[in-house]
Amino acid sequence: ATSSVFNVDFIAILPDMTSSSETHPRNAAKNKGSRLELSNRYKATKSCTSAGLDGDDFQTKPMLALKAPKKVLRGAGLRTALHDIQTEIKILSQVQYKHGGHRHILRFYGVVTGQHEGNGDDDDQDHWLASSLPQMPPRQSILLDRLNGTLTNYINKWRDERGIGVFELFNTASTKDLWLRRLIVMTKVTSAIHFLHSHGIIYRDLKPDNVGFRPITNDGVGAEPVLFDFGLARFLPKKQHPKDDNDNSNDNIVHDETTSNMEEVYKMSGETGSLRYMAPEVYKCQPYNLSADIYSLSILMYEVLSLRKPYGNTVSAFYNNVIVKGNRPSLRGLAWPQPLNGFITSMWDGDLVKRPKSGVVVMTLEMMLRGPDVGLYPRS
């Protein structure tokens, strides 16, 4: 199957890649840093018109971003980066153009398939020539929404704000406002994970650095969280059942969580993702399923709501503490009600079958947003 190809000057969706996303897994334990880079200096004047955006979109999207392999990469590093780009194209084109996209998943506009026509200046990146080659060019880029920072930046900002609140005689209103802001972000991120799971996609690399903030106002002040970097995501095999007469698709994906047995696991590459947020079964290279994302989500939720770094500033003892002893981030000293403690504990349960589905997590977070009356609110 092939994805749609846009008849525009320099943007196209390439044919669907048929190679397995397991061909060149990025081993998180050995990962020395991202092989991809985002350029936020891309001028979107032409791209907005070429991508079919109307005038209103142009006014609210003054800049887009190009994501491409770092220019210094060679050999195996470049091949891995290209593989990650191919995976992103495959996943994001399905998410955006087959399933209608999701507000909290970074919007994908297309692939720059040509060669640079400019003089080498970064400010001249809006001059590209279209390519008719069916294979991926050596330095292909994908066109995405521009981001204003990541969740890592916001966590650091919230820590600073909380410190100011404590200094100002434990301002209760300020504390609750900070809590609500963080809770809203986690609810939106979880809704993105639930959307992926409902379409049979496992993300496998959930962490603060992979949650960006997309500007939603011209002044750049307003922003909303979006999930990005799908280089490690993949489709799960479709559950074996009679084909729906109305289902004309030929892609092997699960259509929703209800058709996927959470006890059914799949052999996928181990040690995939980021160690601090990695589910034990993934670290141990055991078969796993969508619940690996739930584990990662629980560690991220802990970090966002507590503003504590899981396992401190080092994960050198990760195997002994988390895998062997079954330890999890400490809940001591947190002013969390017991129901919240119990829920997040169920999300990082060592038994993947006992973890809740993403839909349950979304509903629970939405309940928390209703306030203290539901018993899932901090006491201070």
Give the SS3 label for residue 365. Answer: helix
Q: How far apart are the first and last CA of the chain?
A: 54
CA distance 88 to 292: 19
Largest Cα–Cα distance of the chain, in whole Å? 65
Distance of CA 248 to the CA centre of its chain: 28
Residue with tokens 């521009």: 146
- Cα R_g (the chain), whole angstroms: 21
Query: Which pLDDT does position 113 carry in this prediction?
Result: 61
Cβ 271 vs Cβ 21: under 8 Å = no
- Angle (deg, nearest 10), helices 151-167 and 172-198: 160
CATH of segment(s) 149-237+263-370: 1.10.510.10
- Smallest Cα–Cα separation from 267: which of 85, 25, 17, 34? 25
DSSP letter assigned to residue 92: H
**What's the pLDDT at 28?**
34
Token pair belonging to 276: 């601090």
Packing angle of the helix pair 358-368, 291-306 (nearest 10 deg): 20
Domain residue extents for the chain: 41-116+136-145, 149-237+263-370
Q: Are strands 64-69 and 141-145 parallel, antiparallel or unpaired?
A: antiparallel
pLDDT of amino acid 340: 87
CATH for the stretch 41-116+136-145: 3.30.200
Query: DSSP string spanning 151-183?
Result: HHHHHHHHHHHHHHHHHTT--HHHHHHHHHHHH
Residue 186's SS3 state is helix
Q: What is the pLDDT of residue 79?
A: 81
Please give the structure tokens belonging to residue 287.
Answer: 């078969």
Name residue 217's amino acid: T
- Say which residue the tokens 């060592």 belong to: 350
What per-residue confidence (pLDDT) applies to 335?
83
The DSSP 8-state label assigned to residue 211 in this structure reads: E
- Residue pair 108/93 in contact (Cβ under 8 Å)? The answer is yes
CB-neighbour burial class of residue 26 (10 A; exposed 0-12, middle 13-18, buried 19+): buried
Task: Single out the residue of 202, 269, 261 nearest to residue 234, CA to CA.
Answer: 202
Show the tokens assigned to 141: 């880029």
Quote the DSSP letter at residue 16. P
> What pLDDT is attached to residue 27?
39
Task: List average pLDDT for each run of 10 residues in the chain, which is 380 residues long.
Answer: 28 32 35 42 33 39 70 78 85 91 92 51 33 43 86 93 57 72 95 97 96 78 89 80 35 41 80 92 94 98 94 77 89 86 95 96 90 58
Tell me how far apart the alpha carbons of residues 97 and 99 are, in angstroms, rounded to a whole number.
6
The pLDDT of residue 177 is 79
65, 145 contact by CB (below 8 A)? yes
Which residues are CB-neighbours of 92 under 8 A, at least 6 positions away? Answer: 105, 106, 108, 142, 230
Instruction: Give the containing element (helix H, strand E) for 143.
Output: strand 141-145
**What local confidence, expressed as pLDDT, does residue 370 receive?**
80
How many Å apart are CA 124 and CA 300, to the nearest integer?
38
